[in-house]
């Protein structure tokens, strides 16, 4: 095996790890937050404005 074969396998392993992380994170977020909160942009704006007022 030459360098490029090893680099190719390493890239596939890294890509698989990233896919696993993204999938697990999506399940964690969907369990932790309500779908209405995730789909609404108003709550995000409210959180940003609340943080500015606290300073």
Tell me the pLDDT tens digit for each residue of 1-24.
899 999 999 999 999 999 999 999
Tell me the pLDDT tens digit for each residue of 33-43.
888 777 776 65
Cα separation of 11 and 19, whole Å? 12
- Check residue 48 and give its pLDDT: 56
Q: Classify burial at 7, counting beta carbons within 10 Å of its beta carbon; exposed 0-12, middle 13-18, buried 19 or more.
A: exposed
What pTM, to 2 d.p., does this model score? Answer: 0.61
Where do the structural domains in the chain lie, given as residue ranges?
Answer: 13-54
- Percentages helix, strand, coil for the chain, rounded to the nearest 5? 85, 0, 15
Residue 44 reports pLDDT greater than 70: no
Residue 51 reports pLDDT greater than 70: no
């Amino acid at each position: 095996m030459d360098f490029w074969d090893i680099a190719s396998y390493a890239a596939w392993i890294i890509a698989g790890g990233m896919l696993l992380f993204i999938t697990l994170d999506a399940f964690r977020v969907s369990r932790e937050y309500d779908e209405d909160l995730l789909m609404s942009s108003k709550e995000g704006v409210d959180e940003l404005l609340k943080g500015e007022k606290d300073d």
